[in-house]
Amino acid sequence: MRISAKTLLAILQIGIAGALGGTAAQAQTMALSGVQTLALKSGESAELGILYYISNCKSLLTSTPEVEILDGPPGVTASVRDEMVPARLQKCPSPVKGGKLFLAVKDVADQSFSTLTLRITYRTRDGDRKLSHVFNLELFP
């Protein structure tokens, strides 16, 4: 019995989709509002998203997530405010321990466009987890 190449390809695609769709719901997330390019004026700040690290809708964090700027223009600061946040991606019924990520810009002399690389550190019961996020950042005076 011979299987055609198209049939074999279809079976493989269904198998891969099934395997990926059935993975466990371990989540470390920065739920962004779809923003990849940010534009800020001098003196402004913006909320970038929420941060949490959960398993089965229970937080694994031992402290508020931390953020550091690995690469970016001068005068830009990032911070995390401790809050109970909704874990909507995992459909959790109640808010979980986490934080909101904010970006602030001080004085901007000239308009610029650059890359901003942030590293988020999640301190969990199982140890530290570090994830990076890259944004395009346009600054205006």
Residue at 62: amino acid letter: T
pLDDT at position 3, please? 53
The closest of 63, 68, 77, 74 to 127, measured between CA atoms, is 63
What integer pLDDT is reported at residue 8 of this predicted model? 41
- pLDDT tens-digit map of 37-73: 899 999 999 999 999 999 999 999 999 999 999 999 9
Coil/strand/helix, residue 6: helix
Return d(Cα 124, Cα 56) in angstroms, integer: 15
Q: pTM, whole model, 2 decimals?
A: 0.72
- The CATH number given to 27-140 is 2.60.40
User: Kind of pairing, strands 45-55 and 26-32?
Assistant: antiparallel
The confidence score (pLDDT) of residue 28 equals: 52
Does 32 have pLDDT greater than 90? Answer: no
Contact of 46 with 103, CB cutoff 8 Å: yes
